[in-house]
Amino acid sequence: MDRAGLADFLRRRRAALRPVDVGLPPGARRRTPGLRREEVAALTGMSGDYYIRLEQRRGPQPSEQMLAALARALRLTADERDHLFRLAGHNVPRRDPEDTHVAPALLRVLDRLSDTPALVLSSLGETLVANELAKTVFGDPDTRTGLARADVYRWFTDPTVRSVYPAEDHERQGRSLVATLRVAHGAAGRGSRADALVRALLAESTEFTALWERHEAARRFEDSKVLLHPEVGAIEVDCQVLFTADQGQALLVLTPRPGSEAEDKIRLLAVLGHEQFSDPGRDLAR
């Protein structure tokens, strides 16, 4: 672990960011440029004292999970992320189509979206990061681990997940999820996380098996859909998608039509907040 190099890198990357770059309000006049240490700590999910010790060359070696969170908080590119891992004495994460390091360009857009649900999805349909309104509507993706991080796995193994969609849309949604997984599996190949996900689903779900055997392959994001929420009922939204250049990640934005009842419902959820309505079992299954 290169403590001096790590401390200097963290300080310089923190100084290069503005609050607006990470979705924070500008606040009062700042004496120094960049983010405050406590802001980086809050974005990362670590204590302020722990982060300060890292910048002062006194902290213990950060875990790989903590480094991944730091890379996201500091909006590092993949190359900068790898450099961070090396400074901290860890092997760099594998570069492949299943890389879950969120593209900084997508994060910059997501940071500016506060009045409508928006989230970044991996090629496997994992929610990598979501804004506060998306968490309010769909639940916190950070509560899920392992295969259950993928929408498609929960769709075919946990019947409660389907309650987010009207019953008449279930068949279309299932086919869409399987077709998207087919694309990811083809790109990643055998031995990949996509392959492990497919093998697990083939063993656990006859419904998935029947759809997998159809060999449908497509990245499908419906133009519009109806979502069901237990507190406000049906919410009709339009879907817009922004892909990274390698098509590995997608920013999904769900917008109600202006002046619609759905717009009023989303505003209500935003006011009432995450604590009352979040449900870890719910998520956008695309």
**pLDDT class for 138, splitting at 50, 70, 90?**
confident
pLDDT of residue 253: 94
- Provide the pLDDT for residue 19: 81
**pLDDT of res. 209:** 97
Q: Which residues of 228-262 are buried (b: 16+ CB within 10 A; e: fewer)?
A: bbeebeebbbeeeebeeeeebbbbbbbbbeeeeeb
DSSP class per residue in 98-131 = T--SPPHHHHHHHHT--SS-EEEEETTSBEEEE-
Alpha carbon separation from 283 to 56, 221, 248 (Å, rounded): 40, 15, 20
Residues 6+ apart with CB under 8 A from 26: 18, 19, 20
Amino acid at 161: V
Asked if the model's pLDDT at residue 281 lies above 50, the reply is no
Task: Name the residue with tokens 């903590």.
Answer: 66
- pLDDT bin (cut points 50, 70, 90) of residue 194 is very high
Q: What is the pLDDT of residue 108?
A: 87
What distance in Å separates the CA atoms of residue 284 and residue 130, rounded to the nearest whole number? Answer: 11
pLDDT higher than threshold 70 for residue 95: no
Average model confidence (pLDDT) across the chain: 85
Tell if the pTM clears 0.85, that is, is over it: no
Q: What is the pLDDT of residues 239-280, one digit of tens each?
A: 999 988 777 889 999 999 999 999 999 988 888 764 444 444
Does residue 25 register a pLDDT over 50? yes
Using 50, 70 and 90 to split pLDDT, how confident is the model at 229?
confident
Averaged over 76-95, what is the pLDDT?
85
pLDDT tens across 165-192, in order?
Answer: 999 999 999 999 999 999 889 888 888 8
Check whether 99 has a pLDDT greater than 90: no
Whether the per-residue pLDDT at 161 is higher than 70: the answer is: yes
What is the share, in percent, of the chain residues with pLDDT greater than 70?
91
pLDDT of 28 reads 64
pLDDT digits 0-9 by tens, 27-39: 666 676 788 888 8
